[in-house]
Amino acid sequence: MNDRTLLRTGIIGTLIVAVCCFTPVLIVLLGVVGLSAWLGWLDYVLLPALVLFLAVTAYAILQRRRKT
């Protein structure tokens, strides 16, 4: 995977997880569909995913700086 794709993946993933984590978008959607019982374990998935995507973004930025 090249640096540009890695950076794009990290940024897009971070934005999606941040929107789901820090806004009630996912809570409202799951509540409307009737899957609100899943909300209890949602933080156990979203917070590590946020950390992972932030790490991917930081790694891609470091790789780009090393090449220049």
Give pLDDT tens digits for 19-47: 877 767 777 877 888 877 777 777 788 88
Q: How far, in Å, CA of 3 to CA of 61, rounded? A: 8
Indicate the DSSP class of residue 23: S
**What is this structure's pTM?**
0.74
For tokens 């509540």, what's the residue? 31
| Cβ atoms within 10 Å of 17's Cβ, excluding its own | 21
* DSSP H or E run through 18: helix 3-22
49 CB contacts (<8 Å, ≥6 apart)?
Answer: 13, 17
Would you list the domain boundaries of the chain?
Answer: 3-67
